[in-house]
Amino acid sequence: MLLSLHVQNVAVISDLTIDFGSGLNVITGETGAGKSIVIDSLNFVLGERADRSLIRHGENMAVVQASFHCSDNLAVMELLDEYGVSCDADGIIIIRRSMTQTGRSDCKINGWAVTVGQLRRLVVLLIDVHSQHQTQSLLDEQTHINILDSYSKKIIEILDKYEKSFFKYKNLLKTLSEYPDRSNLAREIDMLSYQINDIESARLEQGEEELLVVERNKLQNNERLLEAANIIVSLIDGRDGMGLDSALTLMLKQVSFMTKFDPSISDLTDRLESVQIEINDLKDVFLEYIETNTDGIEKLEQIEQRIDVIRKIKRKYGTDIEEVLRKLDEYKIRLDFLSDAESNLSELNKCISKVIYELLSIAKMLSDERDKTGRLLSREIVKQLIDLGMKHAEFNVDVDFFGEVVEKLTHKGGDNVRFAISLNPGEPLKPLSRVASGGEMSRVMLAIKNITADLENIDTLIFDEIDTGISGNAAKTVAQKLHNIASKRQVIVVTHLAQIAAMADSNFLITKSVYESETVSEIHHLTDEETIYELMRILGSESKSETGYGHAKELKLNANLYKESQKQLLYNKK
């Protein structure tokens, strides 16, 4: 449900906020007061093309913000989750769109920046606008099949069965496409076998290359390392003079002599002996190091060869060993898949033939049901159109079946569905887009919505210019039908008709004033008494006319009586 609309710096609107209610919301006002600007602003925030001419004169930026409540709309919540847009526990969605004089447009949902395409995907789940100033969904023949299908539970049941079969068929074709043709089958198997053997023969291990590089760096400096180790051993042994070992032996003799006369230093003997033992252990370590690293050149060659093998495999199959091993798994799976290709293809083609037969049968069944339902829907819509003052209307739901060939089938079946209408006696039926004007189109949509609204999941409908060319009893009928739709969802109407204004659950009056040479449009939520005076204005009565007041009061009373009767009717059905 649309909770509020805030418009800032759009045409003659400086700053305007409308808080809508549930049920039927009606906006009235003098011609030129700004009613159409409200609809233009709404279309803008819902993703229509940005037009800089809408920006109020003297201002740099126009901003429109719409707030919706939709906690029960799972499709909306799933789409927001897909966008990564968070929503509070109350299910409030705030859509904000701005436009500058430089042409820059910015749109956000709950403060998160989104593209206009993403915005449009969302709003079609929230609101349906029918206006003389925009391309209506009813003119898009792609929507006609959806309207027809929503009218019949049986169609929906058959369509569900069809879609399951259709996607099964598509998945089988996808599997079939994964097999190469016979001329390439042996070649691909040979290639996969070679690639698997090539990778496996390299015996790759995670982290091996890094360890080899470290070892190679050590071996590349092996000569210097051995030289250093030999120097250390020489210093311990004293090959070029007195070494550490000889020096420590001499030191021990001197300490032994000293302890004879000074027992206080006797513990130094143990310490020197410990140092001598540690020095000799170190010598053994360095001797072993020299012995084990004398074959460094041979080892370096082996490591260089191993690194070369690893890097060649990486150049052929991946940027790192992890990716190469992943490719190996893929090659093995693909080889297993192709190894049984002959038997698998035979079985797969049998399955495809079976599904094609099933799919074509269901498509024909679906088309027959659409044709039958289309005739029923056509009669219902004609009844509604006659009620709405289009006495000579003819309406037809054309169902054109093209599903004899499986390749032509779509996820919707094998039908083209198109609505055709004739509004004047003797005129042939023609597509809606070539016949109906804006006001007539709104009434056609109103007729259809009266039939299908309960089957749809859109919370808010907006009608603009729905009253074009009607009056009297037809106007009363339009008002009643709008109420019928609004009893289960929010409806917003811009109108000049008193009958529709009288039927409203919430009335809004747009006025235009001049302040200091500046034109400003304002909106006021009318009280019950103010509504009576607005009805008088629409009916052309003077504000002080007792007759006009009585007429307006009677109009409102009759509307309330109708609404009460509908409530009672609904209660009795329960």
Query: Token pair 């009363």 is at which residue?
Result: 476
Please give the average per-residue pLDDT across 4-20, as a whole number: 92
- Give 205-210 contacts, CB < 8 A, sequence gap 24+: 205/321, 206/321, 206/322, 206/325, 208/310, 208/321, 209/307, 209/310, 209/311, 209/321
Same domain, residue pair 444 and 566:
yes
Domain span at residue 172 reads: 134-178+342-436
> pLDDT at residue 59 above 60?
yes
Same domain, residue pair 91 and 158:
no
Whether the predicted model's global pTM rises above the 0.75 cut: no
- 439/427 Cα distance (integer angstroms): 19
User: 285-322 pLDDT, tens per residue?
Assistant: 888 877 776 666 677 778 888 888 888 988 889 888 88
Q: Is residue 183 part of a domain?
A: no
Same domain, residue pair 27 and 152:
no
Q: Output the CA angle 367-370-371, nearest 5 degrees.
A: 85
Contacts of 334 (CB under 8 A, 6+ apart): 192
Tokens standing for residue 175: 């599997």
CATH number reported for the structural domain that contains residue 65 in this entry:
3.40.50.300
User: 194-246 pLDDT, tens per residue?
Assistant: 888 888 888 888 888 888 888 787 776 666 766 677 777 777 777 666 778 78
Query: Token pair 């498509």 is at which residue?
Result: 363
Tokens standing for residue 27: 């906006």
Q: Are the C-beta atoms of residues 172 and 358 closer than 8 Å to each other?
A: no
Same domain, residue pair 355 and 290:
no
User: 418-429 pLDDT, tens per residue?
Assistant: 999 998 888 899
**Cα 138 to Cα 135, 159, 439, 445, 454, distances in angstroms:** 8, 22, 13, 7, 17
Please give the average per-residue pLDDT across 442-458, as a whole number: 74
501: left (phi over 0), alpha (psi -120 to 50) or beta: alpha
> pLDDT at residue 90 above 50?
yes
Same domain, residue pair 11 and 124:
yes
Q: Is residue 403 part of a domain?
A: yes
User: 194-205 pLDDT, tens per residue?
Assistant: 888 888 888 888
pLDDT for residue 137 = 63
Same domain, residue pair 283 and 398:
no
Query: Token pair 């995670």 is at which residue?
Result: 206
- Residues of the chain with pLDDT > 90, as a percent, come to 33
- 50/102 Cα distance (integer angstroms): 11
The sign of the CA dihedral 551, 553, 556, 562 is: negative
> Among 285-299, 476-490, 537-551, which is the least confidently predicted range?
285-299
Tokens standing for residue 227: 């030289």
Same domain, residue pair 523 and 564:
yes
> pLDDT at residue 135 above 50?
no
pLDDT for residue 133 = 47
User: 323-337 pLDDT, tens per residue?
Assistant: 889 999 988 988 887
- pLDDT top residue among 256 and 572: 256
Number of domains in the chain: 3
Please give the average per-residue pLDDT across 167-173, as a whole number: 92
Q: Is residue 184 part of a domain?
A: no
Round the average pLDDT of the chain to a whole number and report it.
Answer: 85
Decide which of 436, 454, 470 is a domain's last residue: 436
> pLDDT at residue 25 above 90?
yes
| Burial of 545 per CB tally in 10 Å (0-12, 13-18, 19+) | middle
